[in-house]
Amino acid sequence: MTSYQQYARHLLAIDCIIFGFDGEDLKGLFIKRKLEPQKGNLSLMGGFVGENESVEAAAERVLFELTGLSNVYMEQLHCYGAPNRDTFSRVISIAYFALINIADYNETILKEHNAVWITLKQLPELIFDHRQMVEDAKEKLRQKVANHPIGFALLPSKFTLKQLQALYEAIYETPLDKRNFTRKISSIDIIKKLAEKEKTSSKKGSFLYIFDEEKYKLLEKEGLKFI
């Protein structure tokens, strides 16, 4: 066979599930769709893969164009290719999930794309199969944070133990025992306690911590289970 002309051609898209954490809830970043079909309805951020770019490059481009951020944690999730997933044309989508600090997201870009952060526990109707993508990404995130400290990407560089616990409670959507959580975090010894305190929530204040990436890399070789 010397030609592919006998085969149908399909559009290849990228969809990004962008997670953020506001200190209490795990949120997703969504936009109002600008194109038909379902123009004006809530959608994940996405775009099509260019003629001369790789899938990974397209995902990085889409993420940067719609958030203004680069060098953030991003991982390929799944390929979604049901024949009728897009009612306008045959579109195969490769989904990625990304973790960003909400405070780093540019408000100007947020308004430019008419984007909105939505609490994932109260997820509204989304276009096509985007809700399934979000649910799959949430489950993947839960699996991932159990063994890898990628959740730190959702926090400020300096954080309190209370903020760290709140993050994991938001990801797993369940309360965690404070003493057990603190004991587990202390036992794996991958966060550094600082002399600084966060004093906005109380007069006494809470000590701030930072993630010790170098120590984590050493422990990772030993098969560390994070949570």
For residue 225, the model assigns a pLDDT of 61
Asked if residue 1 has pLDDT above 60, the reply is: no
Q: What is the mean pLDDT of residues 2-12?
A: 86
What is the average per-residue pLDDT within 211-216? Answer: 84
Average pLDDT over residues 151-176: 95
Whole-number mean pLDDT of the chain?
Answer: 90
* Whole-number pLDDT of residue 43: 95
Residue 36 pLDDT: 84
Instruction: Pick the range with the lowest mean pLDDT from 42-46, 92-96, 113-117.
Output: 113-117
pTM of the model: 0.91
pLDDT average, residue stretch 101-111: 85
**What mean pLDDT is predicted for residues 129-137?**
97
The confidence band for 222, taking pLDDT boundaries of 50, 70 and 90, is low
- The full set of domains in the chain, from first to last, is 11-145 (3.90.79.10), 150-220 (1.10.10.10)
Which one, of 125, 128, 67, 124, lies nearest residue 99 by Cα?
67
Distance (Å) of CA 201 to CA 108, 165, 178: 28, 15, 18
User: Could you tell me if 190 and 149 are in contact, meaning their C-beta atoms sit under 8 angstroms apart?
Assistant: yes
State the pLDDT at residue 2.
Answer: 64
Q: What is the mean pLDDT of residues 130-140?
A: 97
For residues 88-104, average pLDDT:
94
User: How far, in Å, CA of 160 to CA of 210, rounded?
Assistant: 9
Top pLDDT among 105 and 73 is at 73
pLDDT digits (tens, 9 = 90+) for 166-195: 999 999 999 999 999 999 888 888 899 999
177 by Cβ neighbours in 10 Å (0-12 / 13-18 / 19+) ranks as exposed
Measured between alpha carbons, how far is 116 from 114 in angstroms, rounded to an integer? 7
Q: pLDDT at position 224, please? A: 61
Q: Give the pLDDT of residue 46.
A: 93
Q: Within 13 Å, how many C-alpha atoms sit on residue 57's CB side?
A: 6
